[in-house]
């Protein structure tokens, strides 16, 4: 589904992502872990077209996506969230979701004026679908609230909902559970699992290792820009290189 | 009475002008500091065509086409710049346009300006035509209001707001942010061209001095004071600002103090703009409900 070949990106002298290659098949939920600054978010930016890569190629569903603009990649069904939550603060929760609907006729100027019937019909369908998603996220009662006024956790949920609204084939989640309370984490995990069951591939960056072990079928580990390990969560936790990356080498220790 | 008609007509023309800027500033978040250029291009296009003997209606339609075209031509390169840099690019475009009006004498008669621009024949010249011109302006303001309201409430308008709120999110959701911004500027320029054309036919004499940065600041103030991102805000703002501007004329100002009035007015506008941005950025009318 997603194939990454020899991807390299440096900022000045800093090698952010160094010759990374891997392939994601139909594995349901995949995790990407590694210490801070190991290049995980940069890799997400590269996959989704927000950064241009220095070397290498990325393919999604056998089509080359490296070099394409972010909105083109998104339209192919590869949709992401951001590490810093980015809801649209002055739009209502409902509008946040409706805006994410893909391929809206009403976004064309000519259709706004010359096909009002079709636009209205689409809007009604999108509103209905957005309300269903709000229901799934348990945010239905907040549909008219400004997204900027929601709690941090609710914003995270809304962001996930927005990705869903875009009818993705694969979603990239950058630290979906960072900074939210345990109850909301459970709710979020339920939603992520539901998506995976529906056949949407999930690829997520996460620091919460027990959570990764719980939901991911496969884990990739990065350190200092390189991919150092891939395997099941239990293999990952026992691998000496992974332990070293997180905790440092014993002979350097105090 | 005629003077009151005059104020209403000017307010309505500025209302259209402000609504056109609001599409860019209020809904798309683009700080266009050269918006007066499109008002000017519209005014000159319409004036030149009607002075050459073509019907006023044709002039007005052409002014919208030319302004819109120029808007798209400016937007395509300028919108590759973001934030402040876009502001600077548009600011210089406004100045370039004014200098064009000033120096291309073969076309614009330079600083002499263009006198004797006719009104539509059914309205008639002079004071007698004022009520009819007012009705004409009201109709056009209504049409522009309905069209922009329809546009801003559509999925297109929502997408503009997404671009305004967060361009990266827009891209992540598969929206071509650049294309939305170009279309917003193009539509904004078309409507500014209409306002400029109305201005030329109403005032009957235009010169490069009518299209300076001061006019951009004035229309910017109409939008910000009225409430950007709202449909009624620019209209309210235009009426408040134009009435305020005209009322100053009746203040008992000593004759030798007269020459300070215009600069002080400019300072007051600048100060009001800054205070508004700091204390009530949403303006008189607020876009979103609490």
Q: What is the pLDDT of residues A77-110, one digit of tens each?
A: 999 999 888 999 999 999 999 999 998 999 999 9
CA-CA distances (angstroms) from residue B93 to B70, B88, B103, B213?
A: 11, 9, 15, 11
Residue B127 CA to residue B86 CA, distance in Å, equals: 42
Other C-beta atoms lying within 10 Å of the C-beta of residue B110: 14
Closest CA–CA distance from residue A21 to any residue of chain B (Å): 23
Residue A205 has pLDDT above 90, yes or no: yes
Do B240 and B225 meet the contact criterion of CB atoms below 8 Å apart? yes
Give A15's strand partners: A10
Q: For chain A, which domains are there?
A: 2-87+152-252 (3.40.50.300), 89-149 (no CATH)
pLDDT digit string, tens, across residues A101-136:
998 999 999 999 999 999 999 999 999 999 999 998
| Partner A, chain B 214-233, Cβ-Cβ below 8 Å | 229
Of B151, B162, B289, which has the smallest distance from its Cβ to A112's Cβ? Answer: B151
Is residue B143 less than 8 Å (CB to CB) from chain A?
no
pLDDT digit string, tens, across residues A6-58:
999 999 888 899 999 999 987 789 999 998 889 999 999 999 999 999 999 99
Residue A93 CA to residue A97 CA, distance in Å, equals: 7
Give the residue from B160, B162, B168, B174 with the most A CB atoms within 10 Å of its CB, the best one to mutate.
B174
Give the residue from A70, A78, A114 with the most B CB atoms within 10 Å of its CB, the best one to mutate.
A70
Residue A254 has pLDDT above 60, yes or no: no
Closest CA–CA distance from residue A109 to any residue of chain B (Å): 7
- A80:B172 CB<8 A: yes
In chain B, which residue's Cα lies nearest the Cα of A163? Answer: B173
Is residue B191 less than 8 Å (CB to CB) from chain A?
no
Residue A60: both structure tokens together? 């999604």
pLDDT score recorded for residue A251: 56
Who contacts A9 (Cβ-Cβ below 8 Å, separation ≥6)?
A16, A17, A42, A46, A51, A53, A54
- Band of residue A253 on the pLDDT scale cut at 50, 70, 90: very low
pLDDT score recorded for residue B82: 83
Where chain B has pLDDT below 50, the residues are: none
Complex-level ipTM beyond the 0.95 threshold: no
Of A50, A113, A166, which has the smallest distance from its Cβ to B174's Cβ? Answer: A166
In chain B, which residue's Cα lies nearest the Cα of A76? Answer: B174
Q: What is the pTM of this model?
A: 0.91
- A74:B161 CB<8 A: no
Of A71, A90, A123, which has the smallest distance from its Cβ to B174's Cβ? Answer: A71
Residue B35 CA to residue B38 CA, distance in Å, equals: 6
């Amino acid at each position: 589904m997603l194939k990454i070949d020899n991807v390299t990106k440096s900022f000045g002298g800093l090698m952010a992502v160094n010759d990374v290659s891997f392939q994601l098949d139909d594995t349901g939920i995949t995790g990407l872990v590694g210490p801070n600054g190991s290049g995980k978010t940069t890799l997400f930016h590269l996959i989704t077209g927000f950064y241009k890569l220095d070397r290498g190629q990325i393919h999604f569903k056998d089509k080359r996506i490296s070099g394409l603009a972010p909105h083109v990649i998104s339209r192919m069904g590869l949709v992401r969230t951001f590490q810093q939550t980015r809801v649209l603060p002055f739009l209502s929760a409902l509008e946040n979701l409706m805006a994410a609907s893909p391929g809206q006729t009403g976004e064309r100027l000519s259709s706004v004026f010359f096909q009002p019937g079709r636009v209205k019909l689409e809007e009604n369908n999108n509103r209905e679908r957005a309300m269903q998603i709000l229901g799934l996220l348990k945010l239905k009662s907040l549909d008219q609230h400004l997204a900027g006024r929601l709690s941090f956790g609710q914003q995270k949920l809304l962001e996930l909902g927005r990705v869903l609204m875009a009818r993705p084939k694969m979603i990239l989640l950058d630290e979906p559970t960072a900074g939210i309370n345990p109850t909301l984490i459970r709710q979020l995990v339920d939603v992520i699992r539901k998506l995976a069951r529906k056949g949407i591939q999930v690829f997520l960056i996460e620091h919460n290792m027990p959570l990764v072990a719980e939901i991911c079928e496969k884990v990739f580990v990065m350190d200092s820009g390189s991919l150092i390990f891939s395997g099941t969560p239990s293999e990952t936790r026992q691998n000496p290189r992974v332990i070293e990356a997180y905790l440092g080498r014993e002979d350097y220790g105090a | 009475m005629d003077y009151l008609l005059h104020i209403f007509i000017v307010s309505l023309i500025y209302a259209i002008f402000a609504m056109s800027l609001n599409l860019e500033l209020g809904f798309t978040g683009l700080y266009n500091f050269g918006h007066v250029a499109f008002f000017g291009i519209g005014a000159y296009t319409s004036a030149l065509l009607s002075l050459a003997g073509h019907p006023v209606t044709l002039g007005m339609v052409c002014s919208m086409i030319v302004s819109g075209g120029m808007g798209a031509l400016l937007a395509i390169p300028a919108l590759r710049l973001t934030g402040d840099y876009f502001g600077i690019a548009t600011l210089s475009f406004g100045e370039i346009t004014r200098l064009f009006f000033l120096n291309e004498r073969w076309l614009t008669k330079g600083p002499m300006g263009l006198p004797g621009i006719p009104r539509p024949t059914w309205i008639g010249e002079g004071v007698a035509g004022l009520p009819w011109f007012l009705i004409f302006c009201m109709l056009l303001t209504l049409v522009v209001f309905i069209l922009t309201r329809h546009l801003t409430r559509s999925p297109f308008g929502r997408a503009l707001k997404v671009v305004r709120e967060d361009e990266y999110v827009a891209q992540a959701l598969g929206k071509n942010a650049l294309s939305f911004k170009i279309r917003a500027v193009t539509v904004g320029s078309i409507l500014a061209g209409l306002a400029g054309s109305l201005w030329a036919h109403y005032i009957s004499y235009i010169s490069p001095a009518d299209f300076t940065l001061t006019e951009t600041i004035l229309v910017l103030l109409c939008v910000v004071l009225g409430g950007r991102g709202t449909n009624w805000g620019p209209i309210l703002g235009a009426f408040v600002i134009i009435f305020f501007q005209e009322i100053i004329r009746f203040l008992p100002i000593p004759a030798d103090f007269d020459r300070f009035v215009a600069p002080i007015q400019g300072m007051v506008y600048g100060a009001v703009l800054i205070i508004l941005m700091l204390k009530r950025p949403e303006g008189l009318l607020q876009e979103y409900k609490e």
